[in-house]
Amino acid sequence: MTNNKKFLKIGIVLYPTFGGSGVVATELGKELASKGHEIHFITYSKPVRLSELRENIFFHQVTISNYPLFDYTPYEQVLTSKLVDVVKYEKLDLLHVHYAIPHASAAYMAQQILKSQGINIPFITTLHGTDITLVGKDPSFEPVITFAINMSNAVTAVSENLKQDTLEHFKITNEIKVIPNFICPKHYQLENNEIYKKRYAPNGEFIITHISNFRKVKRVDDVVKVFRKVRKLIPCRLLFVGDGPERGNIEIAVRSSCEREDVLFLGHLDSTREVLNISDLFLLPSETESFGLAALEAMASSVPVITTNAGGLPEVVDHNVNGFLSKVGDVDDMAKNVMTLLNDVTKLSEFKVKAREKALEFDMQKILPIYEQLYRDVCSSMNG
């Protein structure tokens, strides 16, 4: 029986870009592979965090057709065909798809095709947030999302808040299990960072960092507003990491302002560890975050987080303990919270310690067995 096998063959379907869902899916796959499971990543380009060759890891590229008749390339269909092919050829035990659309609906279709050929494969859907909170609220997607979630053999959400949001907006008959995002504590352990720190803050300024994909939902303009207020009173520098639709506007705004020398745009970085290592505070004024992986990665690097009380963020950041939560858009309050910490280095140090302590609750070694158990449960219920 599949569930009695010590190691499973797992197909992971994900968005391979810099988004949090892709990062979680890739890190999960890498860790499962290091434990002995065989991992097959299936997506349209190599996941960003999958840089080097590793044992037990395989990548299957979904090639997008450019047949001239198609005004819109049917990605879901080519993904479905690829899933059927990989499941059959590699003899996979299960599929774990990250993001409801189109991954869960493609997995369902692949499952049905395989069933007609006598192959039973379960699929697990992990909801990451933007599939539900933003895209999901577009009514045109609703029937597909509801169906794909209800047809999944198991469904997980990355926070209690996302679970409740999903139940509120869709008619869900399936159980949703909450499995939070995770980090590898060793990866984010502080190291001697004096050389880097001097490079980015030559006069001993505090370093405030923001990392995101610069989408509207991140409210990056609030980062600048908060920084301006703080910098008037405290010497500090702002490091922006990442790229995305809003970056251009933000850069233009910063260039014409008097604090431009103190704001640096570093663009996409394969690893954010080094920059977090030299940061004093992390600023994440998002409109919503189903979880806030970027906040957790900062906390794992002992960096307190100044953020909003939106979505799942209060499940990660404890107000006035390891960071602060403000109302969305309340830049005065966020600036006040930044200054509370930068004006009191003892408090700042306490918050840094508490941030790391909190992040350890999300140690990958605690979360991984939960996924492994779910995989086994799903495989055994499939095999009857």
Residue from 30, 128, 225, 358 touching ligand GMT (CB under 6 A): that is 128
In the complex, the smallest distance separating the C-beta of residue 192 from ligand GMT, rounded to whole angstroms, is: 29
Q: Is 290 in the site for ligand GMT (CB under 6 A)?
A: yes
Pick from 38, 156, 180, 165: which is nearest to 99 by CA? 156
Of the candidate spans 17-25, 187-195, 335-343, 365-373, the one that interacts with ligand GMT by CB under 6 A turns out to be 17-25
Instruction: Supply the minimum distance, in Å, between the C-beta of residue 182 and ligand GMT.
Output: 10
From the CB of 275, what's the least distance to ligand GMT, in Å? 18
β-bridge mates for residue 266, sequence order: none
Asked if 213 is part of the footprint of ligand GMT (rule: CB under 6 A), the reply reads yes
Minimum Å gap between C-beta 58 and ligand GMT is 22
Give dist(CA 243, CA 280) in Å, integer: 21
Residue span binding ligand GMT (CB under 6 A) among the ranges 183-191, 232-240, 283-291, 354-362: 283-291
Stretch that binds ligand GMT, among 57-65, 166-174, 229-237, 288-296 (CB under 6 A): 288-296
Q: Please say whether the beta carbons of 308 and 326 come within 8 A.
A: yes
Q: Quick one: angle between helices 345-360 and 293-300, nearest 10? A: 110
CB of 238 to ligand GMT, least distance (A): 20
Which residue is associated with the tokens 């899916």? 25
Q: 155 pairs with which residues across the strands?
A: 125, 176
> 280 with 301: CB under 8 angstroms?
no
3-state secondary structure of 21: helix
Measured from the CB of residue 178, what is the shortest distance to ligand GMT in angstroms?
Answer: 12
C-alpha separations of 53 from 29, 33, 47, 89, 230 in Å: 13, 12, 12, 21, 44
Q: Helix, strand, or coil here: 45?
A: coil
Q: Which is nearer to ligand GMT, 218 or 354 (CB)?
A: 218
The span of 13-21, 200-208, 301-309, 341-349 binding ligand GMT (CB under 6 A) equals 13-21
Q: By CB under 6 A, name the one of 29, 102, 292, 304 that touches ligand GMT.
A: 292
**Separation of alpha carbons 358 and 71, rounded Å:** 49
Of 2, 21, 166, 322, which lies in the binding site for ligand GMT, with binding defined by CB under 6 A? Answer: 21
CB of 158 to ligand GMT, least distance (A): 4
Candidates 2, 11, 13, 19; binder of ligand GMT (CB under 6 A) is 19
The token duo for 145 is 């999302």
Residue 102, preceding peptide bond in cis (omega within 30° of 0): yes
Structure tokens at 157: 């959400």
* Shortest separation between residue 219's beta carbon and ligand GMT, angstroms: 11
What is the token pair recorded at 156?
């997980």
CB of 94 to ligand GMT, least distance (A): 20
Residue where the block lists tokens 């994440």: 284
Six-digit token pair at 350?
């306490």
Give the number of residues in contact with ligand GMT, rule: CB under 6 A: 20
**Residues 24-53: x where in contact with ligand GMT by CB under 6 A, - otherwise, as a string:** x-----------------------------
Nearest CB to ligand GMT, comparing residues 28 and 87: 28
Joined tokens for residue 296 = 């957790």
Provide the minimum distance between the beta carbon of 300 and ligand GMT in the complex, in angstroms, as a whole number. Answer: 13
Please identify, using beta-carbon distances, which residue of 127 and 236 lies nearer to ligand GMT: 127
Q: Is residue 330 classed as helix, strand or coil in its secondary structure?
A: coil
Residue 130 interacts with ligand GMT (CB under 6 A): yes or no: yes
Which DSSP symbol is given to 303? -
* Interactions with ligand GMT, residue window 153-212 (CB under 6 A): 158, 181
129 lines the binding site for ligand GMT (CB under 6 A): yes
CB-based contacts of 287, cutoff 8 Å, min separation 6: 216, 217, 218, 219, 308, 310, 328
Output 221 or 259, the one with its CB closest to ligand GMT.
221
- SS3 string, 71-84, reads CCCCHHHHHHHHHH
Residues contributing to the site for ligand GMT (CB under 6 A):
19-22, 24, 128-130, 133, 158, 181, 213, 215, 217, 288-293
